[in-house]
Amino acid sequence: MFARKGYHTSRVGDIAEEAGVAHGLLYHYFSSKDEVLETIFRENWGVLVERIHAVEQSNDSARDQLRHVAAIILRTWRHQPDVVRVLVREIARSPEMQERISDLVKPIEAIRHIIERGQESGELRADLDPALAAVVFYGGIDEVLTGWVLGQLPSGVADVEAAERTVVEVLTAGFAASLAAAD
C-alpha cells in the first residue's frame, strides 16, 4: 500500500484491506501506521544488513566482496520492488531519518571495512580515504535505486545486471591499486 499510494496518503483502513484483515485486527498488532512503516524498515533493513555483513566476513577479494554487496542491494529491486520503493521514498528521505541513522549507515560501514582490508592487502589504493570511498560506492548504488523508483532509469532484469557491472567496474577501477601506481 505504501509503495502504491505513498505513506502519507495511505490510511490504516487501506492497509488492513490490502492485508485482508479487519481494521481492528491491524491495531491489535500495530499501534499506528507509523509502527507499520517502522516494522517494514526494521525487518527488511535487518535482512539486508545481515547479508552484507556475511559478505564482509567472507574471504573473497575486496573487489568480489564489493561486487556481492552491489548485487545484494541492487537485486532487491528485482525481488522486492515495493520494499525498495518504500525504503527509498518513505524511509531514507523522511524527517525521522536521523533517528534511524545508526541503522542506515551499517552497509556503508561494512563497505568501509571491505575497502580498508583491500587497502591493507594492496588490492585497493592506499591513498583513498576508506570512509569517503565507501560513501561514494554506496551513493552510486543508492542513486541507481532511486532512478529505478522514480522511473528515470530502465529497470528490467538486464538493466539490473548492467547496473551491478557498471557500479562495480567504474568504482572499483578507481579504487584499484594499479591506478595509484600509474599516477
The domain locations on the chain are 1-31, 33-182
Distance between CA 5 and CA 1 in Å, rounded? 6
Q: Is 176 helix (H, G, I), strand (E, B) or coil?
A: strand
Instruction: Please tell me the CATH superfamily of domain 1-31, with its number.
Output: Homeodomain-like (1.10.10.60)
Instruction: Give the chain's length.
Output: 183
Distance between CA 52 and CA 46 in Å, rounded? 10
pLDDT at 151 over 50: yes
pLDDT at residue 183 in the model: 45
pLDDT at residue 172 in the model: 82
pLDDT at 173 over 90: no
What nine digits make up the cell of 68? 556481492
The model's pTM:
0.86
pLDDT at residue 182 in the model: 45
- Considering only 25-29, 62-66, 83-87, 171-175, which range has the smallest mean pLDDT? 171-175
pLDDT at residue 96 in the model: 64
Mean pLDDT of 140-167: 93
Mean pLDDT of 46-74: 95
Nearest alpha-carbon partner for 137 in 158, 161, 117, 166: 166
pLDDT at 85 over 80: yes
**Domain covering 33-182, topology:** Tetracycline Repressor; domain 2 (1.10.357)
